[in-house]
A and B are shown apart, each in its own frame.
Chain A
Amino acid sequence: MHSTTSEPPAPGPRTAEAPLPGTTEQALKITVLGGFGVGKTTLVRSVSEIRPLDTEETMTRAGAAVDDLEGVEGKRATTVAFDFGRITLDATAVLYVFGAPGQERFWFLWDRLFAGSLGAVVLVDTRRLEESWYAIDRLEAQGTPFVVAHNDFGETSHGLDEVRAALDLDPAVPLVRCDARERDSAKQVLISLVRHVRSLVAARSAR
């Protein structure tokens, strides 16, 4: 076992100055997926200890017929490449979080984002569930481990059973609730993914 030589950074205002401990040996990558406007950029921003890279651009009039804002009328910007954030787990492990863009015109980017990733988080918003079907289908088809996180923005309106049924989700896939704006809540989502991946690996090696 390693002794902990550096504390994980405390939550608070973040800058680019959150140096990686020199003892880092293991880099893990997680991808955050989901449809347009479900809160992926928000989640990466919430959990990252460094100033996150985001590629949000103001939504223009050109998108009025393409980018459906029903349920998220307050949305003003959208990701056009990807989000990137980082969390130091302990003295030796660091987690890199990549958030994908949601709209269909950017799906071609997803393959590159998946490369080398440990697993994925699919964010869903019950106002716009259908936005996340493509992500779930694709992860199932390629066999990438994933969890589904219901981003309810702190308002409990639907039971998780209802959400599971509406998504027709495999019972083996963990489904958790979160508020993507809250750092701790977003962190719990990542933890649930890491646990899920670990249990899959354990089950495989027990066979």
Chain B
Amino acid sequence: MDLDTLTWLLEGLLERTPGTRHALVLSRDGLKLCHSAGLRADSADHLAAIAAGVQSLAHSASVEFGDGGGGVRQAMAEFYGGLLFIVEAGHGAHLAVITSAEAEPGLVGHNMNELVEQMGEHLTTPPRAVPGPA
């Protein structure tokens, strides 16, 4: 899957999920891979770094207080004016979504996980091994 397709999928997530503003896929070491059109490049860089840090700390919390499975299902922050959701998206990547304060967290989480399932296999495929469209 190329970046255009990924970006198109992110836009689709925003369209069908009320209250969502931005969506971004980032590498686990804090770099943006692709994002929705409304997110400025500088903000995308910043969000990628933030989301990597939050996910890493959430992982530490799961190691210390979780059931030993070691996984993070979702990290969430609620701030004045909006919410931030982060889920794992395939190997070595995360999906971050920013919403307005009015968004429905259950629906946002559900739609994000649905999208991750769609993207998952593609994100784990090394870019150079991807053959042309079938």
Binding site for B on A (CB under 8 A): 16, 53-63, 66-67, 78, 80-81, 101, 103, 105-106, 108-109
Contacts and interface: CB of A to CB of B under 8 A. Distances in A.
A74 to B, nearest CB: 16
B29 A59 contact: yes
Interface of B: 27-33, 45-46, 48-49, 52-54, 56-57, 59-60, 64, 92-93
A108 B30 CA distance: 13
A136 to B, nearest CB: 22
Contacts of B32: 62
Contacts of B49: 80, 105-106, 108
Contacts of B46: 105, 108
A196 to B, nearest CB: 30
Contacts of A66: 31
Given A58-B92, A105-B45, A63 B53 contact: no
Contacts, number: 62
21 contacts: A16-B64, A53-B60, A54-B60, A55-B56, A55-B57, A55-B59, A56-B56, A60-B27, A60-B31, A60-B93, A62-B27, A62-B31, A62-B33, A63-B31, A80-B49, A81-B54, A103-B30, A105-B30, A105-B45, A105-B49, A106-B30
B95 to A, nearest CB: 14
Contact of B57 (A61, A62, A81, A103): A81
B30 A80 contact: yes
Given A55-B59, A57-B29, A80-B29, 7 more contacts: A55-B60, A58-B92, A60-B28, A60-B92, A60-B93, A81-B56, A105-B46
Nearest to B59: A55
B93 to A, nearest CB: 8
Interface of B is mostly: helix
A105 B52 CA distance: 11
A63 B27 contact: yes
Contacts of A109: 53
A78 B53 CA distance: 11
